[in-house]
Amino acid sequence: MPNDFPRLVTIGCNHHNTPLEVRERLALSADGVKQLQGELVKHGDIRESAVLNTCNRIEIYMVSENGNALDQVAEMLGSIEGFPVQEFLEHVYLHEDVAAINHAFQVASGLDSQMVGETQILGQIKTSYANATARKMVGPTLHKFFQKAFQAAKWARTETKIGTGQVSLGNIAVELATRIFGKLLVSRTLVIGSGEVGREVAKAFRSRGVACMSIASRTHERAEELSREVDGLVIPFNTWQDTLPYVDIGIFATSAPMNILDKETLKKALEKRPRKPLFLIDLALPRDIAADAAELPNLYLYNLDDLAGIANENLQNRQKEVDQCLSELQRKAQYTWKSMKLRGAAIGSQGD
Amino acid sequence: MAYMVALALTVVRLSKRRPPMHGLNLVIILGGWLLQSIGLWMLGTEAASCPIRNPFEVLQFVSWSIVILYLFTGQVFRLSLFGTGSASLAAIISVAAYLIPGAAKVSSASLIGGDPRINAHAALALFSYGIFGLLAVLSVLYVLQNNSLKNKKNAGIFRFLPSIVDMDAVLMRLLVTACIVYTVSVSIGAQYWREHLDEVALPKLITTFALLIAYWLVLFLRATNKLLGTRLAWSCIGLLIAALLILWPVEASRGYGKDEPITSQSQP
């Protein structure tokens, strides 16, 4: 690491270099994020910071004044109970200064996303920024860093065609369900959890006229809210397993720290409905459904990686547009970096 | 040729990531079937009976049965790529009929004779082969769809395959129909065999009844939920192969107990 300080640093792991089974071990709970934020605030060598924690990436943006940023982050993550620091270090990437800005622009624009061109990530970054601001972790450098990233994302969304032809997770899930059940008018759907991705997929199924939709969530209010949106029926969370033999499509999107549905339970449910296939969509990370359940006959299990892979099948049609966008974002990142230095944001002022 | 054109047209469309042209495919298959019907009619006129005097005619009749069954049932079931699959199988069987050496030989032993029960038995048996063929075509589509879904493939042909649930329902209906038609065929034949045991070869009897039992067994296992999904599909594919293979002992038994001087070539 160069010796010129302070430096703008991004440290993280994402879906590009970290397999799903590792990502689910690296996923931080809400409490874990708070603890990490607390550690970052306390750290004497870190002037500003923010944490982005999604199902596909964990990234720490910071202005480091001294020392080895990676060692510092590893030490802080190590203080979180059960966090596999070694695995994190095996898959970690580190971007500094202009590279950190360029990376943030790509992330905010959805170009670094698993489903290239998606817009949900921008909302997630805004939430991370708002949380960090609320905790007074953000100073002038990261304020500018985030504002420029949001501008870059807006430019990419409105001035390029990176989102053209991009299909949503919901539409992909519905298309897969159609390949299994044909018309969905008699299909019964169960939604477990009420997170944003789960809601999007549930709405897609409702728009295609599934027969009925049951919703179970640990947070009853959120389940009620979703049930109003999709005209569904809220069932008590502790009874959803009993309904498994009677549903055709299951959408799982809880924030449970481990599997809530194992192969044996599914096997028993399938035995009660031998002629009917079961389509399960696991949108959670860590995954809600044991991966080995996919081996069961008559069961079609898809997780986030699977759906994203299908979504990107048409990426080659947009590749030229994506390449042009990446090139322009790089130019914008260079310009932002120079402007930050000129305005005395005290970043890498001795370097370059 | 028309069946192969239908297949080629679908392959070209799919390679361009476009859906198959069902209407055009149907017209091409119908055209091919009409030409095949004219050919079989000419052979039937020459034979003064159902044109199934030799392996060539038998295979052409099976191919013709597959297509006519598709033309009727395909429009009811409305399963994507079912027509292309049926035309492909019909094309393979038709080509095989041309490639088998000496398949078109007609001997006096080849003639079915004047007993209408044997004519009815043979025609119905080969018609049931058409249903076996459709079952196998649908089973192949089922296996493809299941494997693509299990392996998370969504591009190309897989997007246009019929749904798992629809195919399962049609498989069951075709299986029931196949069992009934084949049973009626064997029952009619049994009436004749009872009276002319000396004219019936034992291998033909054994293989015919074995096939009948096998299809009923598969139907029973499906009805009792013991044979489902891809296992059912593979069973139907295996049974079609077995059914085609037993045409050899059936063909070999022609003229059992009779002299068989060669009289002509029937291939048009």
Q: What is the spatial distance between Cα B180 and Cα B176, in angstroms, rounded to a whole number?
A: 6
Averaged pLDDT of chain B:
81
Residue of chain B with shortest Cα separation from A179: B163
Report yes or no: B234 at the A interface, CB cutoff 8 Å: no
Q: How many CB atoms lie within 10 A of CB B39?
A: 16
pLDDT: is A291 or B97 the higher one?
Answer: A291
Residues of A in contact with B228 (CB under 8 A): 274-275, 297-298
Residues of B in contact with A178 (CB under 8 A): 163
Residues of A in contact with B150 (CB under 8 A): 294, 300
Beta pairing, strands B262-265 & B105-107: antiparallel
Q: What is the rounded average pLDDT of the residues A279-291?
A: 93
ipTM value of the model? 0.79
Cβ within 8 Å, pair A297-B225: no
Q: Confidence class of residue A181 from pLDDT cuts 50, 70 and 90?
A: very high
Does residue B28 sit in helix, strand or coil?
A: helix
pLDDT: is B129 or A341 the higher one?
Answer: B129
Q: Is the pLDDT of residue B22 over 90?
A: no
Q: Confidence class of residue B36 from pLDDT cuts 50, 70 and 90?
A: confident
Q: Confidence class of residue A270 from pLDDT cuts 50, 70 and 90?
A: very high
For the CA atoms of A253, A254, A257, A260, what is the dihedral angle to 10 degrees? -90
Cβ within 8 Å, pair A298-B229: yes
How are the residues of chain B apportioned to helix, strand and coil, as percentages rounded to the nearest 5?
Answer: 75, 5, 20
Averaged pLDDT of chain A:
89
State which amino acid sits at residue B159. Answer: R
Residue A13 annotated to the active site:
no
Candidate from A93-97, A146-150, A247-251, B19-23 with smallest mean pLDDT: B19-23
State which amino acid sits at residue A56. Answer: N
Strand ranges (DSSP E) for B116-255? none
Report yes or no: A181 at the B interface, CB cutoff 8 Å: yes
Q: What is the rounded average pLDDT of the residues A239-259?
A: 92
Instruction: Identify which of A110, A114, A100 has the alpha carbon closest to the alpha carbon of residue A155.
Output: A110
- The DSSP symbol for A44 reads T
Residue of chain A with shortest Cα separation from B159: A179
- The DSSP symbol for A261 reads B
Beta pairing, strands A57-64 & A7-14: antiparallel
Cβ within 8 Å, pair A302-B168: no
Instruction: Identify which of A247, A38, A33, A49 has the alpha carbon closest to the alpha carbon of residue A143.
Output: A49
Beta-bridge partners for B264: B106
pLDDT: is A142 or A344 the higher one?
Answer: A142
Q: What is the spatial distance between Cα A243 and Cα A245, in angstroms, rounded to a whole number?
A: 6
Residues of B in contact with A277 (CB under 8 A): 164-165
Q: Is the pLDDT of residue B62 over 80?
A: yes
Candidate from A47-51, A182-186, A245-249, B109-113 with smallest mean pLDDT: B109-113
Instruction: Identify which of A337, A343, A329 has the alpha carbon closest to the alpha carbon of residue A98.
Output: A337
Which residue from A179, A182, A309 is facing B149, i.e. has the nearest CB?
A179
Whether residue B20 contacts residue B14, with contact meaning beta carbons closer than 8 Å, is answered with: yes
Cβ within 8 Å, pair B165-A179: no
Give the pLDDT confidence score for residue B261 in this predicted structure. 44
Q: What is the rounded average pLDDT of the residues A279-292?
A: 94
Candidate from A75-84, A107-116, B82-91 with smallest mean pLDDT: B82-91
DSSP B200-219: S-HHHHHHHHHHHHHHHHHH
Which residue from B152, B163, B165 is facing A309, i.e. has the nearest CB?
B152
Q: Is the pLDDT of residue A130 over 90?
A: yes
Which residue from B152, B168, B230 is facing A310, i.e. has the nearest CB?
B152
A172 CA: distance to closest CA in chain B (Å): 9
Strand (E) or helix (H) holding A325 = helix A315-342
Give the pLDDT confidence score for residue A351 in this predicted structure. 38
Q: Is the pLDDT of residue B148 over 90?
A: yes
Give the pLDDT confidence score for residue B78 in this predicted structure. 73
Q: What is the pTM of this model?
A: 0.78
Residue of chain A with shortest Cα separation from B161: A179
Give the pLDDT confidence score for residue B260 in this predicted structure. 46
